[in-house]
Structure 1
Amino acid sequence: MSQGELGGEPDGFIDAIFATGPDLRHESRLTRADYAARVVRGGLPEATARDDTRRRRRFFDAYVQALIDRDVRQLSDIQHKGELRKLVRLLAARSATIIAANSLESALGLSRPTIARYLQALEEIFLVKRIPGWSRNPGTRTTAAPKLIFVDSGIASNEVATDAQGLLRPGAPFGPLLESFVLSELSRQLTWSGELVDLSHFRDRDRYEVDAVLENRSGHVVGIEVKAATTVGPDDFRGLRRLADRLGDDFIAGIVLYTGTSTLPFGDKLRAMPVGAFWEVPVTAAT
């Protein structure tokens, strides 16, 4: 379930941002601790119904193990079930990053074809999802390295053994887990938004990056960066500026989603906006 479905919110950000562009405004009462709690809770109905942290952890553990024992083994010839379980934990620790099978070889002691097959199986059972790299050339897009996220942030958080309080500590993986959380929410919202949009990520040879690129059928693009901080600065828009320079008039808006409460301007078409805007903004949001 999406965050909007869980809380009775409108879940209208995608349609609103394409209709309104950088004129979209939103204020949110959610705090950084609120976002941490949402990340570790995830969206699986059985998990969200469990308020007790220990009961939720036991559910996540049993759920992932059942997927491996039943669903994955039906899809692929699994000869190393223990290594597959280890792979899931490794992927959770690298959530929202570019994953290549060869980067996991030494950690798992498995061949590259085996890892690639296991990754495909985990995607087919909807445990993980690959976000393709963006390019205006369709042929290039299919070969660009994808970014991997967990479909449910609660599972990813459990796999790295963290809770909401732990995410707020220095050095905790709040950033990548929040990014994975937002990308999975984007994927869900795209299934019902009126605007037909493709989701990808951007990274060029100079390592300018944008976490999410939303492109509609007219070639108009909204770029989204995700930050776990309560404040943002001009450097946080580095990748969005590069994307805007490439696209010209096709660039609709560049949004940094952060854990603060207000919408802030950072130049032409560039805005910082609370993460909560993603599910709290209605489609008919006024400027």
Structure 2
Amino acid sequence: MNSRDLLPRRAEALIGEALMDTRVVLVNGARQTGKSTVTRLVGGSSSDVVFRLLDDPATLRAARADPAGFVDRESGLMIIDEIQLAPELLRPIKLTVDLDPTPGRFLLTGSSRILALRTLPDALPGRMEVIELWPFSQGEVDGGPDRFVDAAFEHGPALDHSTTLRRRDYLERVVVGGFPEAHRRTPRRRSAFFESYLQTLIERDVLQLASIERHGEMLKLLSLLASRAGNLLVPSRLAGQSGIPRTTLTRYLELLQSVFLIKSIPAWSSGSTHRAVGTAKLAFVDSGIASHLLGQSVARLDEPGGAAGPMLENFVAMEIARQLTWSDERVRMFHYRTKDKVEVDVVLETPDGRIVGIEVKAGATVRSEDLAGLRNLEAAVGERFVAGYVLYTGKQTLPYGPKLRAVPMEALWRLAP
């Protein structure tokens, strides 16, 4: 596949911008999301750019044998792929950019959260910008603007969208997910990719971060976590269900977050909202992986007993998480749940306290009671509440109050401010 066949990535512009004023840029994200490809596109064919691929055994041996010599270069950009394989390079990189603070010296990629590793030396504070590269967003796949977050805060309840997509169209997107390789394959071959991906993730990336006692335990835990996507992340409950000791399970959860397989969404609470529950909620970074672990095809998801609800909620939350890496609004993502079990799937909050609430419904119709959580959140935050949306599989935007709207799910990647 040549560069003209590649889907444009939002991160490419972010990386180029960061290299203009930052000495070291790290592109961090899951395996197979296209980090190597996007950094090569940023680097181009300039003679001032040097590529170092640590997946190559000879290159990795050289990096470990002489870290200082490996990164020694007077000028130009050095791209080092899979930096987590040789974290000993970070100290000489720090020394190099301290001696010469010229922006754009090093572009690194990583497949695990290397900054969180306990064995890591001083990791370039103030010298490095981290850019997350996620699996494809729906806007990257379809050529949409991917600006729902900015549109929601700018337009509030005036936001409007209509679509021709049906529930089954959304479920198709859920089971494919966002990995470039998954988009290139038939359903049967896609399943083989997911199986291989998970096996490699456990045997390579997880084992690089920490030794695990039994691979079977981790695979069993992954299936259990997929069945709990969209639920509160309670280690003691998961330990009881899996038979894995709680201390071991907590370590496994940290490892799975470090390799970008799962994500925890923190709970939102206000100083005046004493009845909010502070437990994080579980999500899978890629809905295709989660659906595969559950054995859920489009047809199975669409059945009455299928997992369409939690998988669509996961899908929406992770599309929003992707957008937060490039939105103009600085926003943090939470979920909301009271002790009375009144819930809002996604809460977005800006630094100045403005709030947008998002509820996800798998159905093509919305009932008034589906907005109970949004009404509760609006009452809790008052004037800070910009708008509340139920993202559903229907075809038009419908009003349910001065600040509440039901909006087709496609608005996520089709709307712009």
Common fold by TM > 0.5 = yes
Q: Deviations over 1:43-83 (max 9, x none)?
A: 01010111x11100000000011000110111122002101
**Aligned counterpart in structure 1 of residue 264 of structure 2, from 121, 125, 130:** 130
Aligned partner (choices 232, 238, 245) of residue 98 of structure 1: 232
Conserved 8 A contact 2:171-2:302: yes
Q: Which letter maps to 1:13? A: F
Match of 1:15 among 150, 153, 167: 150
- 1:100-156, CA deviations, whole angstroms, 9 ceiling, x for partnerless residues? 11112233222101000000000000000000000135xx9xx92100100000000
Inter-partner Cα distance in structure 2 for 1:266 and 1:179? 21
Q: Aligned residue for 2:395?
A: 261
In structure 1, give the amino acid aligned to 2:237: S
**Number of the residue aligned with 1:48:** 183
| Aligned 1:1-287 pairs, distance under 5 A | 1-50=136-185, 52-137=186-271, 144-283=278-417
8 Å CA contact 1:252–1:269 kept in 2: the answer is: yes
The letter of the residue matching 1:26 is: H
Contact 1:15 / 1:195 at 8 angstroms: preserved in 2? yes
User: Partner of 2:388: helix, strand, or coil?
Assistant: strand
One-letter identity of the residue aligned with 2:192:
R
Distance, in Å, in 1 between the alignment partners of 2:149 and 2:312 is 18
Q: Which amino acid aligns with 2:145?
A: P
Structure 1 runs of 4+ with >6 Å offset: none
Gaps of at least 5 residues in structure 1 are: none
**Alpha-carbon distance in structure 2 between the residues aligned to 1:25 and 1:183:** 20
Q: Is the 8 A contact 2:233 2:264 kept in 1?
A: no
- Is the partner of 2:197 in helix, strand or coil? helix
Q: What is the letter of the counterpart of residue 28 of structure 1? A: T
Aligned-residue sequence identity (percent) comes to 50
Conservation of the 8 A alpha-carbon contact between 1:76 and 1:118: no
Structure 1 distance, partners of 2:169, 2:283, is 21
- Answer yes or no: is the 8 Å Cα contact 1:131–1:199 preserved in 2: yes
SS state at 1:228 partner: coil
**Higher RCO (C-alpha under 8 Å, 6+ residues apart):** 1
CA distance in 1, matches of 2:314, 2:405: 21
TM-score, normalised to structure 2, is 0.66
Structure 1 distance, partners of 2:197, 2:214, is 19
* Equivalent pairs, count: 278
Runs of 5+ unmatched residues, structure 2: 1-135
1:110 aligned counterpart, secondary structure:
coil
Q: Secondary structure at the match of 2:292?
A: helix
- Describe the SS at the equivalent of 1:98: coil
